[in-house]
Amino acid sequence: MSSIVSQIGDLAEAGERMIERLRRKAFLPDSRKSLSVRIGIADAARLLGCSTNRIRMAEEDGRLPSPPASDTGRRLGYTLEDMLHMRQILGASPQRSPEDVPAIIAVQNFKGGVGKSTVTTHLAHYFAMQGYRVLVVDCDSQATTTTLFGFNPQFNVTRDDTLYAYLSIDPTQTDLSYAIKKTPWPNVDLIPSNLELFDIEYELAAGGSDGQSVLAARFHKLKQGLAALACDYDVVLLDPPPALGTISLAVMQAANALLVPLAATTPDFCSTIQFLSMTDQVLRQLEGVGITLDYSFVRLICSKFDSNDPSHTMIRAIMEQTFGPALLPVPILESAEISHAALRMMTIYELARPIGSTKTHKRCRANLDESLGQIEQLVRQHWGRVTPAREEDVLQTHV
């Protein structure tokens, strides 16, 4: 083995050991990620779209249990399990009806560094906070999303835990149910990934060299497998590789909606244009062989936007002129709070308390709720529904 190869291998091993150390430090005491978020009654009422008085009345008449109290008698707030139970009791569940088609959203861009996995994970947790049933499918062999959910791709995930066992040339599984992992979020499941998933790219490329029949079959197979799983969920989020490969193409065919995150920089803007052009060419070729796509929506979302940076403001204006209504109006703001949470392998929605200032945390959380809420609205519009009005707002309009 050459010295260069050995050196790169040593660097990789050192990095893997450090990731495991960070993971163990973040997830003490048992090295397993847990969810410690408690939701106060005011925030619970906002999420449920009702008044705090309605919640208290339900607790008083025994329909809902009261949250536990601290030694000083202060209410500790509700867990996410409590919130899901409250939604059922109070009739505040946003879940789709059996007639509604589950949203299967590919979060895709071939440009790295746009926050694709961060957007995917935050979006999953946002939907979970709103009461939806969510499945996240990590289709990227870099496995960033898997890591953010508390799994170490090197030590906790085998190749047979990933899509590989289902999509490989010689599959060992006939459906995708084997790959579903529970996460700390009671209404979010994960199909994880690791580096070995990349083997599919080699296998399918080799198999597809003979008339493309193997490729076409695998494209259809992933769509079929995800459609079968989706019946148990409201939203399925797909995180494909940041490259135009066979897995990315299979994901784009399996999805019924497309979300493209891009940062407000010139390189990201130019790269996204190339992504859209390349995707257009490839999809036209796929349609020529009978592989078609049908999306309920295609939207771009500006991620990592710094409103104090004039260059970001200029590039965002160019995006608006270029993409028009396809660009979601509320960008995801650059925030130290997101970076601090990521260092702990968490999202903003998992933080029990602010890492930085309370003001920064509240601003970041409010922005994420508004920005990601745009995608929720698109999903609900496709179901022929809008987000239910808050009880207090309805009462005020009749006063």
Task: Write out pLDDT tens, residues 247-303.
Answer: 888 898 899 999 999 998 888 888 888 888 888 887 787 777 777 778 999 999 998
Average pLDDT taken over every residue of the chain = 85
Per the confidence metrics, is the pTM higher than 0.85? Answer: yes
Rounded distance between C-alpha atoms, residue 357 and residue 344, angstroms: 17
The residue among 296, 207, 287 whose CA lies nearest residue 246 is: 207
Q: What is the pLDDT of residues 203-256, one digit of tens each?
A: 766 665 554 555 566 678 899 999 999 999 999 999 998 887 888 888 988 999
Q: Do 354 and 128 touch, CB atoms closer than 8 A?
A: no
Q: Do 19 and 147 touch, CB atoms closer than 8 A?
A: yes
The residue among 173, 228, 168, 225 whose CA lies nearest residue 197 is: 168
CATH 3.40.50.300, the chain: domain bounds = 103-392
Q: What is the CATH number of domain 103-392?
A: 3.40.50.300
In this prediction, residue 396 carries a pLDDT of: 44
Q: Do 119 and 173 touch, CB atoms closer than 8 A?
A: no
- Residue 239, strand partner residues: 138
In this prediction, residue 32 carries a pLDDT of: 57
Confidence check: pLDDT of 322 > 70 = yes
